[in-house]
Chain A
Amino acid sequence: MAEKMTRFVWRHSARDQLVLLFFTVLTFPIIWITLELPKTIINEAISGTDFPKTFLGIPLEQTQYLIALCFAYLLAISVNNGVKYAQNVQRGILGERMLRRMRFDLYRRVMGRPLSRLKGTSPGELVQMISAELAPIGDFVGAIISTPVSQGGSFLVYLSFIIVQNPLIGAAALALYPVQAWLVPKLQARVIAMIRIRLANIRAMAREIDESIDGATEIRALRARRWHMAIVSRQLYDNYVIRRRIFLLKNLIKFVNNVANHLTPFFIFLIGGWFVIHGQLDVGALTAVLIAYKDLAAPWKELLRFYQDYSDMNARYNSVMENFSEDGEPAPLLDRAPVGPHALALTGAPVDGLAHPVDAHAPKAATTAVLAEDAVARSSLLQALSGLVDGHSGDKWTAGTPILYRTAAYVPADPRIFAGSMRDNLVHGLLFRPVAPGDDPEHALRRREAEMTGAPVDDIADQWIDPVEAGYADVAAVEARIHHLVHVLGLEDDLYAIGLLSRFDPEQAPELAARLVDLRRAIAGSDELGEMREDFIDHWQAERYNTNATVGENLFFALPLDPALRWPDFAEDRAVLRALDEAGIRGMMVEIGLDLCETLLSLFEGVAADSDLFKRYGLFPRSETANIEAILRLGRQRGAEKLNRAAQSRMIAIAFSYCSARYRLGVMRGTERMDMLLAARPKLREFAARDPRFAPFDPEAFHPAFTMAENIFFGPVKLERRDSWAPFRDRVDALVNELGLRELILRAGMAQPLGEAGTTLNALQRRKMGLARALMKNPGALVLDGIAAGESEADRALRALLRAQLAAQPEGGALVFGTDREAAATAADHVIRIDREGRTSEEDGTGEDSRDEPPAVDGACDGGR
């Protein structure tokens, strides 16, 4: 793609462009007809004599002739516009395909960059380039050939028509165009220069924004926030200045064009009129010339705009491509593994960060330690052993048959969790390439589009997992392994917790919903569990206020169906406000809101502006303080009813989100207000039941906005008993197990999306998942960088556990780990030592580590540095 824009476009869309060209050329004769007909209408039909005339072989009287010609004109115009429609649609499709191709090409080049360069790439800048900067190029590309041809052609057609009528008038019409043709390119060159500067400016701004977010902690720590805001402010200012200049220049070009446009009719009237007066030109021709001249303005404008756009787009295109000119295809990952006695080997390999070429190996079915003080050198060597090298020649490896991606699995200390569910993450190492096409009807369509736009035909709806190639008997074996690893690595309880906290649509799994409600009834009905439930759960009851839930939930005794929405989101909804009015508590809600705001503001009075405390413990964002203070002043002075609707809604929203047990701010005035809210509940509950957006709480029914746990207990856990409810929870877990629900809940947990970069998980859980993911690949060698790196009991237990898992490999799996502890390293079977000068040496260890027994399943894997 590092060629010129026109070449690129032509190469990939030549055929479509020619089709477009055909449509374009088709319009020319039609345009001529639309010019001739008015002339004929005026000359022959209106001021003509000698009737009847023949039209298409039929003799017609004057009026009939007029009508016939007028309809013919109408037809010509319609056909002209019809062809134009077809042209525009074709152009749009062409442009979109080109855009897709360009964007994907850029993405592919980026992904092919060597790892070292990739780490230095700013994602913000790239996203800016791929989405915003390329977008207008795509629109333009569809028209790159057809526009000059169609507009230029139209221009020539109109011009020829004028010249044919009378050459002198033609000359007059043509007079001012050369002037424009000279002036405009000069101005345009200035515009291009400005555009390049603007693009650089926007990119710098994207980089700065990226940096502000990435380095947010540092910026706060250094108190440099205002400096960074000043940077962006300045960049925005510069952007404004540049855009203003561009704007002025572009309008100057338009101005020149318009002046020329209006000057010429003056000449036409003068010269043409003179000729008509002297009988050398008929009125019809003059009129037609004027029409033609008016029509001339449009193609000329389009041509000018095309020229400006072309320079603009070219500048953009070149500006983007400069960043990718040297990118080629990604270096292919080695697809061969060494055979012989070793699981992994390097011979005379240059490794990043190590001074000398490395000879090192990890023997099969054994534990190897990489010992070094420098963590970076350790990481480099471990990565090199795993085959994650940038650019290499094939002679460092001997020929072998297993596919490398399965041979070594590298796990860093903080593994990246990808967007998706736990299951998606665990099978990530098996998604090498599609093995069988998916079977949805749109598959063929997507494939055709991909082929036409240079995108790969890999479809995410295809089957990507090949069980046999990955070392499993069949797909069921893969699923079983997932569950086994989850169990062995101690993720099962986490998975269970995730499952309990997940929500699902009861329509999708009615049986599970019914069984959960059965469980609910069983717990409520059981003597022992029922009593414990009373103690620990604030379960929903129609006649009681639930202090562990929000005011909104208490009032309506319902929740919005969409789990992403809560009652405060509906504080501005007309229907909701009306319902509050009818129940007579709208005023009180506003009062509650005001009380809350007053108390919170006084509590946080001395707290600094950029403190986190407010965010964590407040009910409204810090930035809104001024607004809230204003509302408070007004509300206290003039009364709650005098507040405008927006202010009232804001107060109601805050009131809705108040939870007594959590905030304990006493706005409920003992039970006074609670009683009033309870009194309003029946009416509001009815309202919620009627409105399809909300679902009321029903002790006999599953609630789609509750998590599974909330459905089982039918209410929140009492905040004040939260530290002691473990015995109850364990009893319920045992019951869940008895009823066979544990499996279903685990499966729900497995399918639950994990949030961006796995932020819902803690570091330990992420690490366990990284290990599980690596083991799923059935690797010949597991390489740990920063995990189980010490000599503590927990580290040794983890190593023993992983060894046990690897032992199932056909030739025995190798475990490689990095460490800086001499004792831990010498306990391994084989040691690779890196000294301070970056030299490597190998020696045998005592093998003590390998003799450790793997621990019992519970309690394993909670260590590891």
Chain B
Amino acid sequence: MKFEAEVNALQRTPMFQGVDPSRLRLLAFMGEDRTFKDGEMVVRQGDSSDSAYLILSGKADVIVEFGGRASTVAQLGESEVFGEMAMLCETPRTATVQAKGELRTLLFEREGMLRLLREFPEMAIEMSRSLAQRLERTTVELARLRAQAAAPAASTDGG
């Protein structure tokens, strides 16, 4: 079955590791295929959001616009998830994601996901764990960047 391949992709995703395979099959079934050609926007920064994406194959650039300037902050590849924050709360998209080359994804709508999470709370625990890990990494990185930004100012002052 085509969606067996998708189940495998889900299993390789850090966020869904530790989740029961039968739940993953259900999750894969509930997902919808979305394919994008090179350069097409998957999501745009600032749009209202109600879905998350799992990359099945291909690559995507993550672009953030700040103060009028757009810069690519990351590149995502197979088995990576983006937009998952939209599943849990109604925040606008924090970045634009653009396909680089042919991109195949699996889309999960919030409604369905929430229903699934209500059914199988252990999935929610796994997802929260993975989000918490990501938050931890982000915090560490932020602290490092702050320290870096403070250090040259200190040196110019002193210089």
Contact = CB atoms under 8 A, between A and B. Distances in A.
A722 B32 CA distance: 10
Interface in B2-30: 2-4, 22-23, 25-26, 29-30
Contacts of A719: 32-33
B116 interface: yes
Contact of B3 (A535, A605, A664, A721): A664
A199 interface: no
Given A611-B119, A616-B112, A606 B22 contact: yes
A722 B34 contact: yes
A611 B33 contact: no
Nearest to A607: B119
Nearest to A616: B112
A613 B33 contact: no
B25 A723 contact: no
B5 to A, nearest CB: 10
B29 A617 contact: yes
A655 to B, nearest CB: 17
Nearest to B41: A724
A318 B113 CA distance: 55
B126 interface: no
Given A719-B33, A723-B34, A723-B36, A613 B25 contact: no
A724 B40 contact: yes
Given A664-B3, A666-B3, A720 B35 contact: yes
Contacts of B22: 605-606
B3 A723 contact: no
Contact of B33 (A535, A603, A605, A661): A661
A617 B30 CA distance: 7
Contacts of A666: 1-4
Interface string A613-656: 10011000000000000000000000000000000000000000
B95 interface: no
A44 B159 CA distance: 149
Contact of B116 (A613, A663, A665, A722): A613
B23 to A, nearest CB: 7
Interface string B96-138: 0000000000010001100110011000000000000000000
Contacts of B4: 666
Contacts of A604: 26
Contacts of B119: 607-608, 611, 613
A666 B69 CA distance: 45
Contacts of B120: 606
B37 interface: yes
Interface string B54-72: 0000000000000000000
B105 to A, nearest CB: 9
A603 B27 CA distance: 9
Nearest to A613: B115
Contacts of A665: 1, 3, 29
A327 to B, nearest CB: 44
Interface in A573-621: 603-608, 611-613, 616-617
B34 A720 contact: yes
Contact of B42 (A617, A664, A721, A723): A723
A145 B3 CA distance: 76
Interface in A45-77: none
A724 B36 contact: yes
A616 B34 contact: no
A606 B121 CA distance: 13
Nearest to A724: B40
Contacts of B41: 724
Nearest to A725: B40
B35 to A, nearest CB: 5
Contacts of A611: 115, 119
Contacts of B107: 723
Given A606-B22, A723-B34, A723-B36, A616 B115 contact: yes
Contacts of B33: 661, 664, 719-720
B2 A721 contact: no
A536 to B, nearest CB: 11
B37 A724 contact: yes
Nearest to A667: B1
B36 A603 contact: no
Given A611-B119, A720-B34, A664 B2 contact: yes
Contacts of A662: 32
Interface string A801-821: 000000000000000000000
A594 to B, nearest CB: 16
Given A617-B30, A720-B34, A664 B116 contact: no
Nearest to B36: A724
A611 B112 CA distance: 11
B116 to A, nearest CB: 7
A605 B25 CA distance: 11
Contacts of A720: 32-35
A721 B35 contact: yes
Contacts of A723: 34, 36, 42, 107
A616 B112 CA distance: 8
A528 to B, nearest CB: 15
Nearest to B20: A606
Nearest to A726: B41
Nearest to B53: A723
Nearest to B99: A724
A662 B29 CA distance: 9
Given A664-B1, A665-B1, A603 B32 contact: no
Contacts of B32: 662, 719-720
Nearest to B37: A724
A723 B83 CA distance: 14
A694 to B, nearest CB: 30
B3 to A, nearest CB: 5
Contacts of A605: 22
A222 to B, nearest CB: 16
A535 B41 CA distance: 16
A607 B32 CA distance: 20
Contacts of A608: 119
A177 B88 CA distance: 81
B114 to A, nearest CB: 10
B40 A603 contact: no
Nearest to A666: B1
Interface in A507-558: 535
A746 B72 CA distance: 41
A722 B35 CA distance: 9
Contacts of B116: 613
A664 B40 CA distance: 24
B115 A612 contact: yes
B140 to A, nearest CB: 34
Contact of B29 (A535, A603, A721, A724): A603
A611 B41 CA distance: 35
Nearest to B30: A617
Contact of A607 (B3, B26, B34, B111): B26
A617 B40 contact: no
Interface string A711-725: 000000001111110
A373 B35 CA distance: 49
A52 B130 CA distance: 119
Contacts of B30: 613, 617
Nearest to B42: A723
25 contacts: A535-B37, A603-B29, A604-B26, A605-B22, A606-B120, A607-B26, A607-B119, A611-B119, A613-B30, A616-B111, A616-B112, A616-B115, A662-B32, A663-B29, A664-B2, A664-B29, A665-B3, A666-B1, A719-B32, A720-B33, A720-B35, A721-B35, A723-B34, A724-B36, A724-B40
Q: 7 closest A-B pairs (Cβ-Cβ)?
A: A666-B1, A720-B33, A664-B3, A724-B40, A720-B35, A664-B2, A723-B34
Interface of B: 1-4, 22-23, 25-26, 29-30, 32-37, 40-42, 107, 111-112, 115-116, 119-120
Given A605-B22, A666-B3, 5 more contacts: A608-B119, A612-B115, A721-B35, A723-B42, A724-B34
